[in-house]
Amino acid sequence: MLMSKEQKKFLGKQKKERFFILFWQMMIVLLFFFGWEMFANHKIINPFIFSSPSRIFLTLQGLFVSGQLFTHIWATLCETIIAFLLGISLGFGIALLLYEFPLFAKIIEPFLTMLNSLPKVALGPIIIIWTGANGKSIIVMALLINLIISILTIYNGFVATDEVKIKLMKSLHANQLQMLWYLVIPSAWDTIISSLKLNISMTFIGVIMGEFLVSKKGIGYLIIYGTQVFNLNLVMSGIFILIVLSFFIYECVSFIEKKLSHR
């Protein structure tokens, strides 16, 4: 397909803009780490408290050599993926149930709002007693954080379906299943996709909170262990890994979002 000069000019402009943005994003990151290293080396900031990029690198290298690095990363990733899939599946199913039974939704919605506002970490001791001090309690903690948000977000997307289109479907004698499949779910598709990003971030927070409480492996465990033994290099290394993992998971969800939206 041949493109006009205006199209080529527009695409070239977009390409230059993307390169410009990426360049300055990388420069900001490099300048941040360079400044951090310089400040730590010249004792402008306390290197024991704030660590430094070189110390973080050496700590990560030590974890890698000992074989612990990927063990902790894999533990956190597995817990996050399991809790995320459970949260989005249960959230979609319950939201669909609430949409199908409006009276039940009116009864239960205030309780969902109260549960959503409740600090889930306060339930940590109860969850540990119920499920034990193991990976199950971490997944339950993450599930409690992401599930309510998923239910409310997806349900609001269903409720926002155009009433005129619903009446049109009814006039065409569509049954309830057809209305759901061909109208309600497609109408809420953008909301469902957006809830994926919100859900994965909430899940990640829940997993780290759970690892702070009970885990013997995972990134959250590394951070809390480093705090207990005053190894601030280990703490900062754990935070650095979390930032990288958060970016990686977010990009994966964004990729899925683009594929599903395109489809």
Same domain, 244 and 137: yes
pLDDT tens, N- to C-terminus, the chain (263 residues): 556 777 777 777 888 888 889 899 999 999 999 999 999 998 899 888 889 999 999 999 999 999 899 999 999 999 999 999 999 999 999 999 999 998 999 999 888 888 888 887 788 888 888 888 788 889 998 998 889 889 999 999 999 888 888 888 888 888 888 888 888 888 888 888 888 888 888 888 889 988 988 878 899 999 999 998 889 999 999 999 998 988 888 888 878 777 766 66
Count of structural domains within the chain:
2
**CATH number, domain containing residue 93:** 1.10.3720.10
Helix axes of 135-159 and 69-100: crossing angle, nearest 10 degrees: 40
Q: Are residues 127 and 39 in the same domain?
A: no
Single-letter amino acid, residue 95: A
Domain that holds residue 200: 63-262
Asked, for residue 124, whether it belongs to a domain, the answer is yes
For position 112, what pLDDT does the model report? 87
Q: Looking at the domain assignment, is residue 58 inside a domain? A: no
24/91 same-domain check: no
Residues 94 and 36 placed together within one structural domain of the fold: no
Residues 140 and 183 placed together within one structural domain of the fold: yes
- 186 and 124, same structural domain? yes
Whole-number Å distance between alpha carbons of 118 and 188: 27
User: For the whole model, what pTM was predicted?
Assistant: 0.84
Asked if 246 and 202 touch (Cβ cutoff 8 Å), the reply is no
**Residue entry with tokens 């061909």:** 182
| Cα end-to-end distance, the chain, whole Å | 22
- List the one residue out of 161, 164, 140 whose CA is nearest residue 215: 140
Which amino acid, residue 102? P
